[in-house]
Structure 1
Amino acid sequence: MELYHLRTFVTVAEEGHLTRAAERLFTSQPAISAHVKALEEELGVVLFDRTPKGMQLTAAGRQLLERAQHTLAAAGDLLDEARSMHDELVGEVHIGLNTDARFSRVIDTQRAISAAHPQLATIFMGGSSEANLPALRTGKLDAGFVGGHFDDPLLDRLKVTEEALVVAVPSSLRGQFDAADLTELARQPWIHTSPNCPHYRVMSRLFEAAGCEPKRVVVAEQEDALLDMVCAGVGLGIVRAEKVVAIAQRDGSIYALDLPLAPNPLYLVYARKRANDPLIRAVVAAVRQVWELSDTSETRLAG
């Protein structure tokens, strides 16, 4: 029995689908099928029922799944302990970003990692909160920054900070509506983000009490693009307060609406099963140092 057979078994059980399991393990569907068949033959039991809707665990599969998960976890702990015996970490660590590099303190984080582990190359990947989460689940990222609240039993998170958010308004619309009237505010042109974006959820909660939806004129996935559109007079949008303040002081093209919004938490997120991985510990230690977080700062299972 090979560990990769068990890893395939657990992944297919979690995904319930051969294609998704193959994508997660960066291999082909025939290879996944072969691994499952080989494990079934060696164990002498059928682990899955093949159905039109996907792969469903049999009674035997359900009984053996937890044992397989524990075996993989034990093997991972052994590997982590062996790695920790080395003086130096060598290789690459991939960290996903969800906003601009300055706010994420990319330079300071890279310097902290490099100072502690000179032979470890840090690779920062541009992205978004909603893109980072699946990449963390599948191992395409080692760690990543994610904004907003989320639930995922496969992930752990370290709370880094909270982003102060505001409604950014083009100066051309100043005095054109009553900000206290949410129904009237919703009728103004709004620049939306994707529904999975934390800023979108903040915007939605703002209008839920009034039973209305903000008028959508365009969707902008990136905050910088959204800000440019607000400055150009396209519409209103939810953005980080410090960016609006900087632009307002620079040229007065936009201003922040005097309307309280809930702050947006920012987390460093990584796979729960890798919490003891020296690579992850190195990233967590660097982020704690850069953001001046104590050892008692919130670190917990997401979910």
Structure 2
Amino acid sequence: MPGQSFDQAFFIYRHAWFLPDQECPPVLFPGPVIYPQVIAVPMAWRDKVRNSDMTELLSFPWVLPSESCPFHERVTTLFRKYMTTPQKFVSSDFETMTMHLILSGTGISLLPRYMAEGRGKEGIFIEEREKSEIELSFAYLKKNRNEPDIKCVLAALKKVWLL
């Protein structure tokens, strides 16, 4: 549910939510999770990308998160850092769709490291020059701390993100 406000998300799920770079209301307990992102490139573009400087890399076609998505700010910051804007791009609302657009050769994008790693045979090359990370908080009502579903999610987060 990228881009939804906390109130909307909490209303829908009632128990917990991932909050990107937001301050957590006092009734909730935030558990921070660092979410590393990398620049994922179609494998067919690997040599062009390796031989380009960062400004040239940013001039390639990109797959951008929609403006309502919190991850859009990460890409915007990257372009701003090099004082440029995307020249050719398509928007994508979901990371899995973004990954498939990269695999099809549509463009370059920021992807979570866990989605891009190990996909060389499928056709994704990771460009290591720029790295980004976003801090997410898995927030839940303090009074629900001992509920089985909350404990289960926290245990899974510890395994996946090595907390």
Pairwise same-fold verdict (TM > 0.5) = yes
Does residue 148 of structure 2 align to residue 287 of structure 1? no
Shift of 1:178: 5.9
Map of 1:104 onto structure 2: none
**What pairs up with 1:227-242 in 2 under 5 angstroms?**
227-242=99-114
SS for the counterpart of 2:131 is: coil
Measured in 1, the distance between the counterparts of 2:94 and 2:104 equals 16
Question: Which of 35, 42, 48 is residue 176 of structure 1 equivalent to?
Answer: 48
**What pairs up with 1:61-140 in 2 under 5 angstroms?**
128-131=1-4, 133-137=6-10, 139-140=11-12
Query: Mind listing any 5+ residue stretches in structure 2 that lack a counterpart?
Result: none
Measured in 1, the distance between the counterparts of 2:65 and 2:78 equals 15
Shift of 1:241: 1.3
Cα deviation 1:137-159 (Å, max 9, x = unaligned):
5x222133325312464773422
Query: Mind listing any 5+ residue stretches in structure 1 that lack a counterpart?
Result: 1-127, 298-303
Question: Which of 168, 190, 196 is residue 62 of structure 2 equivalent to?
Answer: 190
Measured in 1, the distance between the counterparts of 2:52 and 2:19 equals 27
Measured in 1, the distance between the counterparts of 2:129 and 2:150 equals 35
Map of 1:264 onto structure 2: 134
Residues 146 and 174 of structure 1: is their aligned pair in 2 closer, same or farther, counting only changes over 3 Å?
Answer: same
* Residue type at the aligned position of 1:169: V
Map of 1:143 onto structure 2: 15
Is the contact between residue 147 and residue 198 of structure 1 (CA under 8 Å) also seen in structure 2? no
Measured in 2, the distance between the counterparts of 1:181 and 1:215 equals 16
Larger proportion of strand: 2
Moved more, 154-163 or 212-221: 154-163
TM-score, length-scaled by structure 2 = 0.78
Superposition RMSD in Å: 2.8
Measured in 2, the distance between the counterparts of 1:179 and 1:142 equals 49
Matched-pair identity in %: 16
Map of 2:117 onto structure 1: 245
Map of 2:125 onto structure 1: 255
Does residue 157 of structure 2 align to residue 275 of structure 1? no
Aligned length: 159
Map of 1:159 onto structure 2: 31
* Residue type at the aligned position of 2:4: A
Measured in 2, the distance between the counterparts of 1:221 and 1:230 equals 14
Where relative contact order (Cα < 8 A, 6+ residues apart) is larger, the structure is: 2
Measured in 1, the distance between the counterparts of 2:13 and 2:98 equals 26
Larger proportion of helix: 1
TM-score, length-scaled by structure 1 = 0.46
Is the contact between residue 188 and residue 236 of structure 1 (CA under 8 Å) also seen in structure 2? yes
